[in-house]
């Protein structure tokens, strides 16, 4: 079945350093979403990418969808303590089904 | 708009007991999902409803789990009998089909189940 893996599993950074998490799917995706889950909280939707090679930015966050639509990345510039949490990608194999398989997640800790 | 409501927030039961969780999605959201999130893992889809019909329940352990969404609004997820490995957070999410591609799921706060 479809699998979505993320690396790294954990990342500790000093505040102000950059952070990147990578998401890889075993199958070609129709689109991919990114979520952030704060400790003790529930996943919160960040963004959706649809087109091959698409790049979207939200303030210090940059999201990319690979050309082959099998991988994606989230890059945070100059991390802040508010960025702490687990970042999940979620991929949909088929357009219009609204069924997303979540990745394994990357837990980010930011040291002040 | 009001978010996705779930109850209870926490539940502790003994193995072999039964338990039920309730979810009320965002008004007008046609699609409702139940996810299981084991500590340290990503959410795993259990069942997806569109209105009151099941779209996907391939990952639902049907020998012990059941779910329904009567009238296409709120939903209940039941486990009977519970096993130790069912300890997890059960997340309900909903999404709107009308707005197409630009909206992700809205998750509820979840029910943390501990089976002892």
Alpha-carbon distance of B110 to B37, in angstroms, equals 9
Whether pLDDT at B39 is above 50: yes
* Per-residue pLDDT band at B2 (split at 50, 70, 90): confident
Give the model's pLDDT for residue A94. 74
**What's the average model confidence in pLDDT over A36-58?**
95
What is the chain B residue with the closest CA to A95?
B101
Question: What's the average model confidence in pLDDT over B22-47?
Answer: 93
Place of tokens 């599993």: A9
What residues contact residue B73 under an 8 Å CB cut-off, 6+ apart?
B24, B25
Q: How far apart are CA B109 and CA A10, in angstroms?
A: 23
- The predicted pLDDT at position B99 comes to 47
Which of B19-57 are b and which e, b meaning 16 or more Cβ less than 10 Å from the residue's Cβ? bebebbbbeebbbbbbbbbeeeebbebbbbbbeeeeebb
pLDDT of residue A3: 87
B97 pLDDT higher than 80: no
Q: How far is A55 from chain B (nearest CA, A)?
A: 15
8 A C-beta contact, residue B100 and residue B38:
no
What local confidence, expressed as pLDDT, does residue B113 receive? Answer: 98
Cβ of A105 within 8 Å of Cβ of B106? The answer is no
Q: Quick check: B80 pLDDT over 70?
A: yes
- How deeply is A39 buried, as exposed, middle or buried, from its count of CB atoms within 10 A (0-12, 13-18, 19+)? exposed
Distance CA B39, CA B87 (A): 9
Q: pLDDT band at residue B96, thresholds of 50, 70 and 90?
A: confident
Give the pLDDT score at B54: 93
Average the pLDDT over A20-24 and give the result: 97
pLDDT reading at B22 higher than 70: yes
Residues B71-83, mean pLDDT to the nearest whole number: 94
What whole-number distance in Å separates Cα of residue B3 and Cα of residue B74? 13
A8-32: average pLDDT: 95
Contact between B90 and B108 (Cβ < 8 Å): no
Q: What's the pLDDT band for B105 if we cut at 50, 70, 90?
A: confident
Mutate to test the interface with A, among B3, B95, B104 (most CBs of A within 10 A): B104
Q: What is the pLDDT of residue A97?
A: 67
Mean pLDDT over the full length of chain A: 94
Q: What percent of chain B has pLDDT over 70?
A: 93
pLDDT, average across residues B8-34: 95
Contacts of B95 in chain A (CB under 8 A): 98
pLDDT for residue A21 = 98
Torsion of CA B109, A39, B17, A104, to 10 degrees: 100
């Amino acid at each position: 079945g479809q699998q979505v893996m993320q690396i790294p599993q954990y990342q500790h950074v000093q505040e102000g350093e950059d952070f990147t998490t990578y998401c890889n799917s075993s199958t070609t995706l129709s689109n991919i979403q990114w979520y952030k889950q704060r400790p003790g909280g529930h996943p919160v939707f960040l963004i959706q990418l649809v087109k091959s090679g698409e790049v979207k930015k939200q303030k210090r966050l940059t999201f990319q969808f690979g050309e082959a639509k099998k991988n994606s990345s989230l890059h945070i510039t100059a991390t802040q303590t508010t960025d702490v949490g687990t970042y999940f990608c979620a991929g949909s194999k088929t357009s219009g089904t609204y069924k997303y398989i979540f990745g394994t997640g990357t837990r980010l800790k930011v040291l002040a | 708009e009001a978010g996705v409501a779930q109850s209870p927030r926490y539940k502790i039961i003994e193995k072999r007991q039964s338990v039920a969780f309730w979810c009320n999605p965002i008004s007008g959201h046609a699609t409702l999902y139940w996810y299981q999130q084991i500590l340290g893992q990503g959410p795993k889809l259990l069942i997806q409803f569109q209105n009151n019909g099941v779209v996907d329940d391939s990952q639902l352990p049907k020998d012990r789990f059941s779910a329904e969404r009567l009238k296409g609004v709120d939903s209940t997820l039941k486990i009977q009998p519970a096993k130790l490995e069912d300890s997890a957070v059960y997340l309900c999410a909903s999404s709107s089909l009308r707005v197409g591609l630009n909206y992700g799921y809205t998750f509820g706060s979840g029910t943390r189940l501990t089976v002892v």
